[in-house]
Structures are given as C-alpha cells and as structure tokens.
C-alpha cells in the first residue's frame, strides 16, 4: 500500500452476523407468526452458515456449542484478495 500503514483501521467497529438461511414471506404471514411458529429456511440441515460482515460474506462455518453458548467454527475463509475484489466491485 505504498508504505502507508492501515493500523488506524484496527479500531473500526464492524457489524458481524451469522446467517442460518433466509426466506421470503408475505406480510400477512409475518403478522400471523406466533410463539410456536416455524419458519422454513432455504438451507438444509447441516449446510454451512454464512459469516457476514457489513453485508458481505467473508467466511462459512458450522454451529457449535461452547459452555452453553452458540458459536461458529469457521470451515472456509474467503481469501483476502477475493474479499478485496468483492469490496471493490460493490
């Protein structure tokens, strides 16, 4: 990077989320959801979860439980070069 340091970026906060899957539904169906409702997602059981940072998939993984809390074990990380290209393209 022409000798410039990017250390100033290390303290930038980013939104990180893990996506189990998604679906589309009508507002009427959304309003009818109740405590025991089930929403069918577009992924099959056992498929990878997407790790998303600021609306960009940066990795994939699998759900794990650690000390009664859910976590994600990364199984695939998109290379820094590919991530940079994706950012530049959008």
Nearest to 56 by CA among 33, 30, 84, 29: 84
Residue 59 placed within a domain = yes
Using 50, 70 and 90 to split pLDDT, how confident is the model at 10?
Answer: confident
Residue 34 placed within a domain = no
Residue 28 placed within a domain = no
**In 3-state terms, what secondary structure has residue 37?**
coil
- Alpha-carbon span 52 to 55, nearest angstrom: 6
Residue 35 placed within a domain = no
Domain that holds residue 74: 7-21+47-89
pLDDT of residue 77: 94
53-80 confidence digits (pLDDT tens)? 888 889 999 999 999 999 999 999 998 8
In the predicted model, is pLDDT for residue 44 greater than 80? yes
Average pLDDT over residues 81-89: 74
Residue 77 placed within a domain = yes
Beta bridge partners of 57: 52
């Amino acid at each position: 990077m022409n000798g410039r340091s990017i250390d100033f970026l290390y303290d930038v906060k980013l939104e990180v989320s893990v996506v189990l899957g998604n679906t589309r539904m009508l507002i009427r169906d959304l309003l009818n959801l109740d405590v025991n409702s089930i929403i069918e997602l577009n992924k099959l059981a056992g498929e990878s979860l997407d790790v998303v940072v600021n609306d960009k998939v940066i990795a994939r993984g699998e759900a794990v439980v650690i000390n009664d809390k859910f976590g994600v074990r990364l199984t695939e990380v998109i290379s820094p070069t590919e991530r940079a290209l994706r950012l530049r393209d959008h």
